[in-house]
Amino acid sequence: MDIVKISFEDIKYATDNFSNEKCIGMGALGKMFKGQLPHANGHKFIAAKLFDREYGQGDTEFYQELEILFKFKHRNVIGLEGYCDEMDERIIVYEYPSNGSLNDWLKKTDLTWMKRLEICIDVAIGLDFLHGGALRQEAVIHRDIKSSNILLSGDLEAKINDFGLSLISQNNQEIDYVKMETIAGTECYIDPAYRKTGIISKASDIYSFGVVLFEILCGISAYETSGYINNQQYLGPLAKNHYEHNKLNELVFEGIKEQIVPQSLSIYAKIAYNCLHDDRNQRPTASEVVAQLNEAKDFHVDCEMWESRLPSDYKEIIQQSGTPEICYTKKKKDLYDMLYEGILIQKGKVWFWLDSNNNRNEMISSTLFTYKNQSSQKWRRIRKARFERVSLMMDVSDLKIQIKITAKFLTLGATYGVYLVFKLGESNKISSEPMYVNLKYKREDKTLHAYFATWREDGWMMIELHRFLYDKDCGDFEAKHEEIEQSKDDVQQILSANSNMGQMQQFPADNDEIYELTQNYDMGAKVPFLFLTKFILCEK
């Protein structure tokens, strides 16, 4: 093979004659040493595995690992620097990841949840590459995936290491396993199905990786049983049992517990649990693990970026919507967008939204009005509207409606305008000129008048009734609308108005609202020209 051959003397010199001080690990096939080899730019750190001749069987493991490292090159697989087969010695020289093995980092609090997720994704990507995906004709079954065989570079990029037990198999759907005469691997990571049948497959690597995922989450090595496990039960079965009984939180590493977003933990724990499935055919593939871990990471990143932008009481607001569970299933960015687009709360009776200044605004459905002259009032449905129904007033000369509202979620310190929003007939035409209406209403036993209504860009109109500064001592708003004086000439002028629009405050538009009659009525009788649909509290 066209690999750099390094002399035994050079490796011996680089490792101080394989001194104990340079030994950085020991495996079933030999010891690993850190060293420095001459390089064009000075010296280069390397790791050299000296195969123990006691385990040599025709040098099978040595040449098999060389073949794998030569044929399967990937950024998440340890890099091959060279080899030596002189003086009856067998040595493989690797790149040197300066941050050691993952096993040494499990209890470190500076290894954040975010970084742990990235390491898991690196390993899953490397494993997916080794398993061949759907394109390669050959796949590598590692047979010894564990945290001590995952090395970390200077920037904590993970690299799968130690292919001494690995084998190359055909990558096809019909035969995806190999029958082994002896069981090999590290006891607490070994797939129980492999131990029972002697059949090794890519799913066996997935089981081992599932154990690693729980090591990373729990901050303990799979070897560690003291204080956690009874009857010598290993971490894999323990974590699996805790997951099934909704007690996994008891095992989560305290150093990262406060960092973990619930949605991120839920996705992560589920895929780790699925990796340990008793039925190997039910375990996910490495590519599926990559997808789920990325989803867990996306939720974490999303929370870091968007949680602070949401209102501090966003959960309380959304809990009053028709789908309160979205607080825990949707990403924070989606919740943020929803609040800016607007959501229905309080059993669909209030439309809540945030404006560009993060101020809160509310529209109150006409279903919350009290109608004293109900014979002149009917209900109609509006297609694609915010509210399910609107009030159709057949006669507005004697309105007699009353509204009392408590605006629970407004912004303290903001000045609000209070508006009555309505529409004349079926007209969608708008005008740049205000309409004279002379609405008479009462508030706190005072009779007041609103003389003009302004057009909104969606063809609806609004009348300003009140302005106030919202503070903690701000009381409820109560108004009684008694009548609107309107001549037939005024109505005709409105219905024939052109669609020019002047500058006005922009509010959420109901561009898709279409008047839809659900009952017949006598067109020769009183003309239905007022839809009372909204009572609006909007930041000025």
Q: 507, 536 in Cβ contact below 8 A?
A: yes
Q: Which residues does residue 36 pair with via DSSP β-bridges, in sequence order?
A: 45
Return left, alpha or beta for 347; rule: phi > 0 is left, psi -120 to 50 is alpha, else beta.
left
d(C-alpha 158, C-alpha 125), whole Å: 10
d(C-alpha 30, C-alpha 60), whole Å: 14
d(C-alpha 206, C-alpha 203), whole Å: 5
Residues with catalytic function: 144
| Nearest residue to 210 via CA among 231, 189, 226, 230 | 189
| Nearest residue to 165 via CA among 152, 146, 147 | 146
d(C-alpha 492, C-alpha 320), whole Å: 42
Angle between helices 202-218 and 113-130 in degrees, nearest 10:
170
d(C-alpha 483, C-alpha 45), whole Å: 88
| Nearest residue to 419 via CA among 451, 381, 378, 453 | 453
